[in-house]
Amino acid sequence: MPNLVETTDRLDRYFKARVPVVVVRTQEPSRALDAIRDAARRNRAMPFYAHSPAKGLAELSAGKAITDDRSLTGALDHATKSFQSQDNVNFVFLDIDDLEEESATSRHLAEVARVGEERLGSITVVTSKGVWPGLARLGMTVTLDLPDFDELLDVVTGLVEDHRGNPRFTIEWQYEDLRRAAEVLAGVTQTEAVNIIATMLAKESLLVEDLVELSTYKDQIFGGSTGIERVEVRDGEFEVGGLSSLREWLRKRERRIKTDLTGLPLKPPRGVILVGVPGCGKSLSAKAIAHDWELPLYRLDLGSVLGMYVGQSEGRLREALEAADRVSPCVLWIDEIEKGLAGGGSESTGITARLIGQFLYWLQESSSKVFTVATANDVERLPPELLRKGRFDEIFFVDLPDPEERAEIIRLYFRQFMSQEPGPFLVDELVQASEGFAGADLAATLQDVAWERQDQHETGPVDDSFVLRAFENVVPFSRTNPEEVARIRQWGLERAIPANGRRAVMADTGPASSGRRVVL
């Protein structure tokens, strides 16, 4: 869509061409009026008048009132008389109701426009909604989009630089910080951007760490976005043990998503699919990415997107993805994506196919800095289209932690739940006792130990034998559902990159295994 400069150029051409009706669609009427004023200055020989319910009818440039009657009917009557007596007169109307359908107001405007056309007069309507085709087809329509990156950068820079020399203010933001701020503010109006930066300046300082605060203000604007919800990452929810290969891969994507892509034929990273055994850190990884990258985390609930009426699901998904674009840069977490985009009973209506097509089109075409983290447990239900190269950046398989990773996870949760380091002997014993444990099993068991200590008011070193007994009483998911775990791991070995950087080895365990193949 056109930005402010392009909109001004188009309006200039429409005025010169004496188009009878010009419709400007925008969410920012004041910004549209600025564009109309700039275009009017290029055509000084022609008079311009503007009407709004609050100010009535006045000269566009000087703001001098023309009549005491502030009503729309009075302004249209004045326009009719002006068109009948003078050539090349222009009238601008803001905040008019009942224009979307054929109504007395829309018919009246069309009639006045036809009168003006006889004397090369022009009517410009600024609205955020649609316009009755009988009126719109008399002229041309231009849509003024929200401020682009360059406009937001000018707004942010102007506000900050106006305060930089003031001794009362501590301004740490430099050029790269200003660019980052403009990028974070993408999707807000010019007025909203001014309000956010002015609010931050009100504390008489702008520190580098304040950049994170921008996302909070932006979230207040889009907090009610359809289909996505903000997820607050609490302390302790962003530490992930193991997954060394995945973490190294993500470090490169962090640099890329924070790179200034202006003028480059490159798109930001699109995202990653994490498949694997339940409880091994897939969802936790989404929270860790948002925390490490200092980006807001939003969750797309495909279950709430699916509607009961034909076309409703597609509309809700489109709104949710548009909302994600508006709140970018961000991390978009889609948990158990296979449940929302798998087949099932809806295939007969084609709803699933349309949802997948819509989602994949957004993944491929969106240029917003939205990093999508999709997790899946039931890997065989994933649509094949989703796995094709070029959709997501990569597919990682999150396996059960190996002994080295279990040791790292045990130390991590010991520090988190009991505020102490486990002894090396205890760690070795727990690693052996936790064969087949997922990360969630380790976390839950150590949290139970911490609660028992809390209930007994214990504050000293942990009793090793007590912790070992707690581990011996746990039956992990891999033992209660061995066939499902084997099926998931078989799929991951063949179609995804191991998140820990090491590939497991499949082996035939012989007759004792009843013919099952077990991952070693």
Q: What is the CATH number of the domain that holds 39?
A: 3.40.50.300
DSSP 65: B
The reply to whether 391 falls in a domain is yes
- Distance CA(395)–CA(258), nearest Å, equals 22
Instruction: List per-residue pLDDT tens for the chain, 520 residues long.
Output: 468 899 999 999 999 999 999 999 998 999 999 999 999 999 989 999 999 999 999 999 888 999 888 999 999 999 999 999 999 999 999 999 889 999 999 999 999 999 999 999 999 999 998 899 999 999 999 999 889 888 999 999 999 999 998 999 999 999 999 998 998 888 889 999 999 999 999 999 999 988 888 888 887 777 655 678 888 876 655 566 667 788 889 988 988 888 888 778 888 999 999 988 888 888 888 888 888 888 888 998 877 776 655 567 778 888 888 888 888 888 999 988 887 776 544 444 567 778 888 888 898 888 889 999 999 887 777 778 888 777 889 989 888 888 888 898 899 888 888 888 888 888 899 999 989 888 888 889 989 988 988 888 777 788 888 888 888 888 888 888 888 888 888 888 778 888 876 655 443 333 333 333 233 2
CA neighbor of 75 nearest in space, from 99, 101, 54, 61: 54
The reply to whether 365 falls in a domain is yes
383 shares a domain with 281: yes
Give the count of domains, the chain: 4
Long-range pairs, 309-316, Cβ under 8 A, ≥24? 310/349, 310/351, 313/351, 313/354, 313/355, 314/351, 314/354, 314/355, 314/358, 316/226, 316/227
What is the predicted pLDDT for the residue at 516? 35
428 shares a domain with 345: no
394 shares a domain with 261: yes
- CATH code, 425: 1.10.8
- Residues with Cβ within 8 Å of 484's Cβ and at least 6 positions away in sequence, in order, are none
What is the predicted pLDDT for the residue at 513? 34
Are 64 and 58 in contact by the 8 Å Cβ rule? The answer is yes
Q: Which of 86, 108, 143 is the last residue of a domain?
A: 143
The reply to whether 65 falls in a domain is yes
Burial group, residue 451, by CB count within 10 angstroms (0-12, 13-18, 19+): exposed
Q: What is the pLDDT of residues 46-100, one digit of tens each?
A: 999 999 999 999 999 888 999 888 999 999 999 999 999 999 999 999 999 889 9
387 shares a domain with 256: yes
- Distance CA(505)–CA(122), nearest Å, equals 76
What's the gap between Cα 38 and its chain centre? Answer: 33
313 shares a domain with 205: no
408 shares a domain with 393: no
207 shares a domain with 160: yes
160 shares a domain with 42: no
The reply to whether 443 falls in a domain is yes
The reply to whether 414 falls in a domain is yes
CA dihedral 75, 77, 78, 81 (to 10 degrees): 160
207 shares a domain with 336: no
Q: Which of 363, 378, 398 is the last residue of a domain?
A: 398
Buried b (16+ CB within 10 A) or exposed e, 290-305: bbebebbbbbbebeeb
Q: Which of 143, 159, 190 is the last residue of a domain?
A: 143
- Distance CA(290)–CA(300), nearest Å, equals 15
Q: Which amino acid is at 376?
A: A
Question: For the chain, what percentages of helix, strand and coil (3-state, to nearest 5) are there?
Answer: 50, 15, 35
411 shares a domain with 308: no
The structure's pTM equals 0.69
User: What sign does the dihedral 219-220-225-227 (CA atoms) show?
Assistant: positive
The reply to whether 491 falls in a domain is no
Q: What is the pLDDT of residues 250-270, one digit of tens each?
A: 988 988 888 888 778 888 999
CA neighbor of 139 nearest in space, from 72, 84, 95, 90: 90
What is the predicted pLDDT for the residue at 508? 38
156 shares a domain with 103: no
Q: Is the preceding omega at residue 29 within 30 degrees of 0, hence cis?
A: no
The reply to whether 207 falls in a domain is yes
What is the predicted pLDDT for the residue at 486? 86
The reply to whether 420 falls in a domain is yes
130 shares a domain with 30: yes
Domain that holds residue 412: 403-478
